[in-house]
């Protein structure tokens, strides 16, 4: 705005200089034709202009002044004694032109400010009390000299700057609104140069979102601060800004000052400050919303999986129960037929095959019933360390000599209550599964330990309850499992083994047994942890440590 004022004042000063020459010629009695020409020039000046001589008598009053004051030149020319001030204030009083050759403080006090540039006086006045429209004006006045350099009068130009002042006020109000919005917005707002990505300003919302103070980022770039966790997100934004001038609702991952990351929804626009393109970006933190959405999806998936497993369990249990009854008949008849057949004969051999197949089928139905939690159980209070120690010989025979089996019993492990046969099934299935994941030589490790688990540990296990547990951990040095495999390993009949080398019921049986005993399973690649509820201690409160899930 100051540049605009200087430009307007400069233009008006040049008009005054031209007018000075004309008035000097007019006052010195030059050629009549020249005087008429110069009077016409003054008349056609765009600014309202009037001239007084040394005695304060009006000697020029142009058409713009006529339009401003609604007073004809013929009614004003030749008048003095501050008569011209009546046109502006309806009372006789000094105006700016009277200050040109008089530094009267009383006159000066009637103006909000007067700026002197050499001999030129410049002032802005509020609306004149006697003029229509209530507009604001820029007044410029200076002395007039004759050829000898003597003062012969003064000239004043008046320009209507109402629109300019309104624009200034509107701009100021807009700037205030922008500042208020910028600095008080809860969202993170960044203003930066487009060409070199240097940040010009940030608001408090940005500091709260990222942890950076204003002085830490001004003059730096997002590259220096490594604010973009995925630089391709910025590339997308710049591409949109270059193509359309704006970018809306870009989801991007940002890095905070402490190294943690969050998710923001960014809207940006190109603006020009002067002629320099800048980017103003507004980022809304949606980290919590994204986490809540992911948690919702995860819980929905768990619910669907639990419902699926429950449905499959009911179906499998029903089929296995009926099938088991039929197998009982087959096995009974096979036993009877065998007792009546001649050993070594073809019929006897065929009956043995029938009996063998029926028993394998019975084992499968037993596993299905285990998954469906319909097995008849005989729970007992067990010392997990002692029970597992008694199983190691059998487990070593099962996994073979090339694979080392290590048992790391925990200290003072609490007792659990479950059927020992079910514990046999759990360990046998887990160890066989681990064995099949190891090529040639390797190691399987069984561990036990106490665990105190909280609700935070059960975010992904909605059916489990917080409290004291005993963990049974089986890990191996095998090839591990992909994430999509881990998600399906407890489904009945799911297997990654070749056809004929696995039923897909081993881990499904483990799942059913653990659920039946109100425990839960946590699988992470090479490690399977089973948490069994511990028996309540009758003695003093026990201290326990537990590895994280």
pLDDT digits (tens, 9 = 90+) for 164-179: 888 888 888 888 887 8
Q: What is the mean pLDDT of residues 362-387?
A: 71
As beta bridge partners, residue 445 has 406, 475
Domain ranges of the chain: 2-166, 185-285, 290-371, 380-533
Q: 3-class DSSP state for residue 1? A: coil
Region 185-285: CATH code = 3.30.450.20
Check residue 334 and give its pLDDT: 82
Report the range out of 29-38, 67-76, 378-387 with the highest average pLDDT: 67-76
Ramachandran assignment for 510, one of left (phi > 0), alpha (psi -120 to 50 degrees), beta (any other): alpha
- Which of the given ranges, 1-5, 176-180, 337-341, 442-446, has the highest pLDDT on average? 442-446
Q: One fold for both 185-285 and 290-371? A: no
What CATH number is given for 380-533 in this structure? 3.30.565.10
Provide mean pLDDT across the span 249-264: 93
The candidate with the shortest Cα–Cα distance to 141, out of 126, 124, 160, 128, is 124
Q: What's domain 2-166's architecture?
A: 2-Layer Sandwich (3.30)
What does the pLDDT read at residue 425?
80
Residue 506 has pLDDT above 90, yes or no: no
For the segment 407-448, what is each residue's pLDDT rounded down to a tens digit? 999 999 999 988 887 888 888 888 888 888 888 888 999 999
Q: Which helix (H) or strand (E) holds 40?
A: helix 32-43
Top pLDDT among 517 and 279 is at 279
Q: Which fold has domain 290-371?
A: Helix Hairpins (1.10.287)
Exposed, middle or buried: residue 10 (CB in 10 Å: 0-12, 13-18, 19+)? exposed
Decide if 161 contacts 122 (C-beta within 8 A): no
The fraction of the chain above a pLDDT of 70, given in percent, is 74
Distances in Å between the alpha carbon of 432 and those of 79, 291, 480?
A: 120, 38, 14
Which structure tokens are listed for 127?
A: 């609306």
Check whether 2 has a pLDDT greater than 70: no
Range with the poorest average pLDDT among 56-65, 188-197, 375-384: 375-384
d(CA 209, CA 198): 19
d(CA 317, CA 319) in angstroms, rounded, equals: 6
Strands 403-408 and 276-285 turn out to be: unpaired
């Amino acid at each position: 705005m100051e540049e605009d004022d200087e430009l307007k004042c400069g233009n008006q000063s040049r008009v005054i200089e031209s007018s000075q020459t004309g008035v000097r010629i007019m006052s010195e009695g030059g050629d009549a034709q020249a005087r008429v020409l110069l009077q016409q020039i003054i008349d056609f000046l765009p600014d309202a202009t009037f001239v007084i001589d040394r005695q304060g008598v009006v000697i020029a009053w142009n058409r713009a002044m006529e339009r401003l004051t609604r007073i004809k030149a013929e009614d004003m020319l030749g008048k003095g004694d501050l008569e011209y001030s009546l046109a502006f204030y309806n009372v006789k009083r000094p105006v700016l032109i009277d200050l040109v050759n008089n530094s009267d403080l009383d006159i000066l006090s009637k103006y909000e400010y007067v700026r002197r540039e050499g001999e030129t006086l410049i002032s802005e006045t509020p609306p004149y009390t006697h003029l229509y429209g209530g507009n604001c004006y820029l007044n410029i006045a200076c002395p007039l000299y004759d050829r000898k350099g003597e003062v012969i009068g003064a000239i004043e130009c008046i320009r209507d700057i109402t629109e300019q002042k309104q624009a200034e006020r509107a701009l100021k109000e807009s700037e205030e609104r922008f500042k208020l919005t910028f600095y008080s917005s809860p969202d993170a707002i960044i203003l930066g140069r487009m060409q070199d990505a240097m940040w010009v300003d940030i608001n408090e919302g940005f500091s709260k979102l990222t942890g950076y103070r204003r002085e830490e980022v001004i003059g730096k770039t997002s590259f220096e601060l490594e604010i973009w966790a995925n630089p391709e997100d910025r590339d997308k934004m710049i591409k949109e800004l270059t193509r359309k001038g704006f970018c809306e609702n870009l989801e991007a991952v940002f890095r905070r000052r402490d190294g943690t990351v969050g998710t923001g929804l960014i809207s940006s626009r190109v603006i020009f400050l002067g002629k320099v393109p800048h980017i103003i970006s507004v980022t809304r933190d949606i980290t919590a919303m994204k986490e809540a959405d992911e948690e919702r999806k995860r819980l929905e998936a768990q619910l669907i999986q639990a419902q699926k497993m429950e449905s499959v369990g009911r179906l499998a249990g029903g089929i296995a129960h009926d099938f088991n009854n039929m197998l009982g008949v087959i096995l009974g008849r096979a036993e009877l037929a065998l007792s009546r057949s001649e050993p070594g004969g073809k019929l006897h051999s065929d009956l043995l095959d029938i009996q063998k197949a029926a028993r394998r089928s019975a084992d499968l139905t037993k596993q299905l019933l285990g998954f469906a939690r319909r097995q008849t159980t005989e729970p007992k209070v067990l010392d997990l360390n002692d029970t597992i120690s008694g199983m190691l010989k059998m487990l070593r025979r099962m996994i073979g000599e090339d694979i080392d089996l290590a048992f790391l019993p925990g200290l003072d492990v609490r007792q659990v209550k479950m059927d020992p046969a079910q514990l046999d099934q759990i360990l046998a299935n887990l160890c066989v599964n681990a064995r099949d994941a190891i090529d040639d030589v390797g190691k399987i490790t069984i561990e036990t330990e106490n665990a105190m688990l909280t609700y935070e540990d059960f975010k992904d296990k909605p059916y489990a309850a917080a409290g004291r547990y005993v963990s049974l951990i089986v890990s191996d040095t095998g090839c591990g499992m992909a994430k999509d495999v881990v998600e399906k390993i407890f489904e009945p009949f799911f297997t990654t083994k070749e056809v004929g080398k696995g039923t897909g019921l081993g881990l499904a049986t483990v799942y059913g047994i653990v659920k039946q005993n109100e425990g839960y399973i946590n699988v992470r690649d090479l490690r399977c942890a089973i948490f069994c509820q511990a028996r309540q201690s009758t003695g003093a409160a026990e201290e326990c440590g537990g590895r994280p899930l």
